Amino acid sequence: MIETTVEPKYRAFSLHNFRSIPQMELLTEEELFDIEVVGNVLPFKVNNYVIDELINWEDYQDDPIFRLTFPHRDMLRTAHFKQMADTLRHTDKRKDIKQVANEIRLQLNPHPAGQMQMNVPEIDGIKLTGVQHKYRETVLFFPSSGQTCHSYCTFCFRWPQFTGMDELKFAMKETELLVRYLEKRQEVTDLLFTGGDPMIMRHKVFSQYIEPFLANENKTNIQTIRIGTKSLSYWPYKFVTDPDADDFLRLFERIVKRGINLAFMAHFSHPVELETEVVQEAIRRLRSAGVQIRTQSPVLRHINDSAEVWADMWRKQVNLNCIPYYMFVERDTGAKHYFDLPLERAWNIFRDAYQQVSGVCRTVRGPSMSCTPGKVQILGVTEVAGKKVFALRFIQGRNPDWVAKPFFAEYDPRASWMKDLKPAFGEKFFFEEELARLYMKKAAKPEHETLKMEISEN
């Protein structure tokens, strides 16, 4: 148990006050300016736990958590960096800075097209804009009060949701519509709360979203509630010393007692996030409330691009009774050029790490790309009929029939995302025609006229 007499108080830092972080004295004026330039385009928010417990300031420039949370000049392309730097040198008008920021953001593929247009369901003619239903069994829900996080990851593809561009924001006020939709869709067994980070919510707000599923009159077929969260990495006090920590644990217990499987899809990027006393205590408390913790993260250059880091992380997770779940490939938005790795390298990291751990850690699957047709796993580089190829398979498919069928792409040492891949045999991948048909069907509405067929995006 952690003995604390004072509750650690959450303090957030972003552009307007980060210079008051004591550790900023270690940085040069140029580095501070770089943070301002990039932080005006990409999300930037960090808190006292991340600063004081996770970052090793003696080596901050190469520190994985510093890289994960603090903007770096190379995260913007040179021209974009210069454009914003010049703007900041010439004006301090919020409006002008914002306009330049938005111009740059729109060039960073902020909203993979398919995500906006293909997955938003309707009920009785009403668009459920805070809901995505892509895979038959699982519905993603973006509660409007969960669209922020305790800190921001600089690589995050969710960043358009944080940056005040309302037209890009997924949000939905009522659970009511969601429940109505789920009642009609008995094939949906899993409800996945996501964001942002739903665990940013106070218990009072979060329980509003959950109560309908605990009520006797609930007629949905929800058997698993998942919560996608990085709170265990960024603010584990949430479940230990925050004023409503115990209320959360009691709510979680009620969900589990109701016979619903409750799973945290916990985002851990590096083993250091598992090493503090308070995160270990938070995991113990969640586990004793009956919460399952499954773990996932993208593999990222500068942060966790080594097999040793992943093997160490999976082993530590299992030792804390967490279940390794996914290794993702960073998707093609935002600062991808800074973080991305060739698919072959991602696979080698996965394979080397997987070989180092025992079977209990091998519940993990990856590296996986979440793109328009589904979640595509890179099984490896191999040879078929004398030709060097990537072997791939769907872990999830827009059509469930696609899942677990191996297929092949031409070997390309520079490929880093689905859009870089070409079929190894024949003209098209086996799923392409059907995907195009699904796409046309959804895009039949006039406002989607300009929609282009893309297989690289969500």
Ligand X SMILES: *Cc1c(COP(=O)(O)O)cnc(C)c1O
Chain residues binding ligand SF4 by CB under 6 A are: 149, 152-153, 156, 158, 195-197, 230, 267
Find where tokens 């943070």 sit.
35
Beta partners for residue 227, in sequence order = 193, 264
Q: In terms of DSSP H, where are the helices of 258-388?
A: 277-288, 307-319, 336-339, 343-356
Q: Least distance to ligand X from the beta carbon of 138, Å?
A: 4
From the list 129-137, 169-177, 282-290, 435-443, the region that binds ligand X by CB under 6 A is: 129-137
Q: Closest Cα partner for 302 from 82, 80, 74?
A: 74
Nearer to ligand X, 49 or 141 (CB): 141
b/e burial code for range 31-49 (CB count within 10 A of at least 16 → b):
eeebbbbbbbbbbbbbbeb
Q: Least distance to ligand SF4 from the beta carbon of 128, Å?
A: 20
245 phi, psi to nearest 5 deg: -55, -45
Site for ligand X (CB under 6 A): which residue of 83, 138, 221, 363?
138
Q: Which two tokens stand for residue 203?
A: 């218990």
Q: From ligand X, ligand SF4, none, which one binds at residue 195 (CB under 5 to 8 Å depending on kind)?
A: ligand SF4
Q: Answer left, alpha or beta for residue 364, where phi above 0 means left and psi between -120 and 50 means alpha.
A: beta
Q: From ligand SF4, ligand X, none, which one binds at residue 149 (CB under 5 to 8 Å depending on kind)?
A: ligand SF4
From the list 78-86, 132-140, 150-158, 330-338, the region that binds ligand X by CB under 6 A is: 132-140
The site string for ligand X over 288-307 (x = CB under 6 A, - otherwise) reads --------------------
Q: Least distance to ligand SF4 from the beta carbon of 163, Å?
A: 11
Q: Does 394 bind ligand X (CB under 6 A)?
A: no
Q: Closest Cα partner for 196 from 222, 220, 172?
A: 172
Site for ligand X (CB under 6 A): which residue of 140, 153, 177, 283?
140
Site for ligand X (CB under 6 A): which residue of 49, 70, 81, 135?
135
Site for ligand X in 186-205 (CB under 6 A): 192
Find where tokens 């398979």 sit.
393
Q: Least distance to ligand X from the beta carbon of 456, Å?
A: 14
Q: Does 117 bind ligand X (CB under 6 A)?
A: no
Q: Answer left, alpha or beta for residue 125, where phi above 0 means left and psi between -120 and 50 means alpha.
A: left
Sheet holding 407-410, edge to edge: 131-135, 138-141, 190-193, 224-229, 261-267, 292-299, 323-329, 365-371, 374-384, 387-397, 407-410
Alpha-carbon distance values, 96 to 45, 100, 283, 348 (Å)? 22, 6, 45, 45
Collapsing DSSP states into helix, strand and coil, what is residue 445? coil
Nearer to ligand SF4, 310 or 328 (CB): 328
Q: From ligand SF4, ligand X, none, which one binds at residue 160 (CB under 5 to 8 Å depending on kind)?
A: none
Site for ligand X (CB under 6 A): which residue of 220, 295, 370, 456?
370
Nearer to ligand X, 97 or 120 (CB): 120
Q: Least distance to ligand SF4 from the beta carbon of 157, Å?
A: 7
Count of all residues that appear for the chain in the document: 458
Q: Give the count of residues interacting with ligand X (CB under 6 A).
A: 10
Q: Least distance to ligand SF4 from the beta carbon of 267, Å?
A: 6
Residues 6+ apart with CB under 8 A from 411: 381, 387, 388, 389, 390, 424
Q: From ligand SF4, ligand X, none, which one binds at residue 134 (CB under 5 to 8 Å depending on kind)?
A: ligand X
Alpha-carbon distance values, 178 to 37, 119, 191, 336, 440 (Å)? 40, 14, 10, 33, 26
Q: Least distance to ligand X from the beta carbon of 80, Å?
A: 28
146 phi, psi to nearest 5 deg: -120, 25
Q: What angle do CA 55, 59, 65 make, to 5 degrees?
A: 30
Q: Does 396 bind ligand X (CB under 6 A)?
A: yes
The site string for ligand X over 326-365 (x = CB under 6 A, - otherwise) reads ----------------------------------------
Q: Which residues in this chain contact ligand X in the complex, by CB under 6 A?
A: 132, 134-135, 138, 140, 192, 370, 375, 395-396
